[in-house]
Amino acid sequence: MKRHVIGIWVLVMLWGVLAVRGQEATSEPELPSASVYVTTQDFSSLRAGPGRAFLRLGIVPPTVTLPAYGRTSDTRWIQVEYEGKRGWIAAILLVWTGDVINLPVDGVNPEQFIRRAAALGVTTRETPYYDKQVTPEYLVGYIPEKTELELTGRLGGEGFFRFQVRYQGNLYWVGSWDIRIIDGDYRRLLDLAYLFPYGRLVIDLEDNIAQSLGSYSQILDIWQRLGNGRQVACAPVPPLVQRQITDTDVRREQAFIPAVIALDGAISGINSAISAFEDACSGLSGALTREMIDTQLTILEDAERNLILAGSLIEPLRRRNPVLGSS
């Protein structure tokens, strides 16, 4: 009896050791604490690696916020964790908060894969490299001439701008003037201009003008056809334009005020013409008259002038971007 009890005890202890070892073998290394979070904008495939050819681990519903732990060199895929599964989601399906450019390239403990670098460059001289930005206080050291580097990000894209590079396993910043591109397309790299008020304003101004032009073209066509005596369907109604630029950014970068005033004038006119069309379709404005149609066409002429003015100011503003040291 005593020998039987001892035998059972040995088996229990052995089972416990094997269970612990099995758990250690199958559990993934613990992830670092997240500083970047992403939110899905649609149903999003969670994949085992950064590409559509990798196994789909699951589907993440819209509006789910997830911790992010890594990215590809071109930031087109983001490594996340969802319901205990670590995987990758296409960046086009996400919006994020935090400094995504500082996420580890290729992620944290990813499944093994090979890839082509988005862009490669070589130093044209002994090149100073910097920790956070290309300013003297962040100087780390110098990269030898003719050193091949993977480019993983950029700040700007024309004239004298900055590259983020991977050097000795870490991410640093160098001037584009010290790098010669030898493979790939650096324009595929994430542009960090959106992190700064000036860069955000340039991007948002371009996007808002493009959005405004779309709605302007649609509503102008409607009122012109009505002016020519043609019948027009009441659906679909052109989308109203929403200004993306924030007043906070404009107050900090007052050089944009003339362009924003012109943009606001264009948006006001376009939305007024769209609302007038909706009122006409609902019968709120009664039967259309020639005078009513001419009024809307005049409003849209003013909107067009404001769009042209706002558009003409983009390039000068882009060229003098103080973040890039241009003026």
At residue 179, the pLDDT reads: 96
> Same structural domain for residues 202 and 254?
yes
What is the token pair recorded at 174? Answer: 């160098």
Q: Which of 172, 192, 212 is the last residue of a domain?
A: 192
pLDDT for res 126: 96
Tell me, what CATH number does 42's domain have? 2.30.30.40
The confidence score (pLDDT) of residue 31 equals 58
Would you state the pLDDT for residue 118? 84
* Residue 200 in domain: yes
How confident is the model at residue 4, as a pLDDT? 46
pLDDT at 326: 53
Residue 11 confidence (pLDDT): 39
Instruction: Give the torsion sign (CA, 163, 165, 171, 173).
Output: negative
**Distance, CA of 66 to chain centre:** 16
**pLDDT given for residue 256 in this prediction:** 93
Whether 97 is covered by a domain: the verdict is: yes
pTM of the model: 0.54
Number of neighbours of residue 248 by Cβ within 10 angstroms: 9
- Cβ–Cβ contacts within 10 Å for residue 42, how many? 11
Chosen domain end from 170, 192, 214: 192
Q: Are residues 220 and 303 in the same domain?
A: yes
User: How confident is the chain (327 residues) per 10-residue block, as mean pLDDT?
Assistant: 43 39 44 80 93 92 94 90 94 86 85 79 96 86 96 82 90 93 90 75 89 96 95 93 90 92 97 95 82 96 96 84 55
Per the structure block, which two tokens stand in for 317?
């503003």
